[in-house]
A and B are shown apart, each in its own frame.
Chain A
Amino acid sequence: MAAAAAAGQVDADTFRRLYPDDYLRKFVEQGLRPDGRPLAAARPTSIGLGAVSTADASALVKVGSTTALAGVKCEVVPALPEAPDAGRLAVQVEMAPLCSATARPGRPSEAAQVLTEQLGALLSSVVDARQLCIDAGKAAWAVYVDIYVLDADGSLHDACLLAALAALSSLRLRAVSIDESGRVQTGAAAQQQQQGEQLAGQQERQLALSCLPVSSTCGLYRGRLLADPTAEEEPLLEAQVTAVLDESGAVLGFSAGGTAAVSQAVVVQCLEAAKMRGKEVRAMLQQALQQAGLAADAAAP
């Protein structure tokens, strides 16, 4: 290693850029992280509901400087013949070039596609598709959840899932009415029409979520676990473990990967950490919903 660094001729910021691994190691040996956190602490998290006024529901989530914006758009679509009593939920994660130095314009990156796939599978078990049915065999809701990563500073899965969950739990499906000719009306007009005539359709209602999963990512670095790693720490980690647990402690997703193998003790530690983090985040979400006047019975812990 550079003699200059040892002689103290290099300032901290240069050292950080030249020897990122040594830089992180020196912190971790002291039981700290470069941003001042203890090893097991997540970054400060905030949830802002209704950030986008043109969407049916939206949420802006910040975990440290990682920022994810989720928007939900609902549309009435004809029911699919193969699933007449079910609606559709489509999840899409977008990582625009502005989110990090490594993101490129053009085709969606592998990271974005992997997130899309993981969150799509997760959210389909949170939202029962039969709930999105309006009139069996005729009409159903298609709910599009678009998640935009505005700042990719590590642990994207956690922030994206929380943003999607916050947006979905604040979603109210508008009133719908369908007349004999199949004309669909939504919103206030539909409500009036429904009262006047006996039309097929539904009143405005809240979307009920079957559970509130919270994701927690931990990184393994030189035998120690770092909770909620940043983009600076992520490439230096030997392995990354993401556990998704719901309020009853059930595991909805457990993904691990890296260049080193993970022991059972680490698996148990990560599950434990995810449980603690889940409690904290769900309380935060509950508070955000209450502030927005949207506290739902279904979302109660």
Chain B
Amino acid sequence: MERTDGRSAGQIRTVRCERGLLTRADGSAQWTQGGTSCLASVTGPTQSYASSKEDAERATVDVVFRPRSGLAGAQERQHEAVIRRACEAVIVAALHPRALIQVVVQVVSDDGGVLACALNAACAALLDAAVPLRTLCAAVSAAQAEADGGLLLDPTAAEEAAAAATATFAFLPLLAGGGGGGQDGTGSSDGLQLLTSQTRGRLSTDQLLDMMEAAKQGADRLAAFMQQSARQAAGPLAQ
């Protein structure tokens, strides 16, 4: 099926990742997918600003999600919760007891799939800040077109608005050169490794499972890109 921007149904928009844009943060990354772009910064592990945020056994993760304009509302709080849980899953938190790792995500432009873009930006920023990670996490949004339409990966805002259902999935992707999903033994034989899921709208169970499968493949490609861009940034150190 042809899409308005000429992509195929399972194609992700052009991805760009720039690192180290912010000088005052310990790590930062701007993740751009077509017309959607998010800037993420990571500070920490640092001292906790409130004792209620401290955990005696592991580092806590604090996420702030800033919309492109206006004040953060209930939707932004939901995004924060999703990003926080995904970060907690990939960070080796036990290495920094009582510390705080703060992730701030600022939406720069929004043309659909902003939560997935924010998740990828946060993960890239964690990599840039050299926070110890168990694996990477990669997120992809998907839409089920109205009526008997097909499944679209990484939809634009217009495609999302016209869709019967939209979803965002994050996965622990399979990485080249070991690492990745299934390391910690909680994994599975089928290798789906779904970390986060958020859906909106009506789907049949088969459509949901197909969507996850397609998103997983997209996430593996994104993770490979993220890994490659990290290697490039590390330069001669990585060799």
Contact = CB atoms under 8 A, between A and B. Distances in A.
Interface of A: 110, 113-114, 116-118, 120-121, 125, 220, 223, 238, 241, 246, 249-268, 271
Nearest to A260: B186
Interface of B: 74-75, 77-78, 80-82, 85-86, 88-89, 167, 171-172, 181, 184, 186-205, 207-209, 212
A264 B186 contact: no
Contacts of B88: 259
Chain B contact residues, majority secondary structure: mixed
Nearest to B86: A257
Given A121-B200, A257-B85, A267 B194 contact: yes
Contacts of B74: 113-114, 116-117, 120
10 contacts: A117-B74, A117-B77, A251-B203, A251-B208, A261-B171, A261-B172, A261-B193, A262-B194, A263-B189, A263-B190
Contact of B204 (A238, A249, A256): A249
B144 to A, nearest CB: 10
B174 to A, nearest CB: 11
A148 B113 CA distance: 32
Given A261-B171, A267-B209, 4 more contacts: A255-B199, A256-B197, A257-B82, A263-B192
Contact of A114 (B81, B187, B205, B207): B81
Contacts, number: 110
A263 B191 CA distance: 7
A220 B193 CA distance: 13
Contacts of A121: 200
B192 A267 contact: yes
Contacts of B77: 110, 113-114, 117
Given A113-B78, A256-B197, A251 B202 contact: yes
A160 B199 CA distance: 18
B194 A117 contact: no
B192 A258 contact: no
Nearest to A254: B199
A251 B187 contact: no
Contacts of A251: 199, 202-205, 207-208
Contacts of B202: 125, 246, 250-252
Contacts of B189: 263
Given A113-B78, A264-B212, A253 B89 contact: no
A223 B184 CA distance: 12
A263 B193 contact: yes
**B172, B193, B200, B209 pick with most chain A CB within 10 angstroms:** B200
A118 B78 contact: yes
Given A249-B205, A256-B194, A259-B89, A265 B78 contact: no
Contact of A253 (B82, B193, B199): B199
A238 B78 contact: no
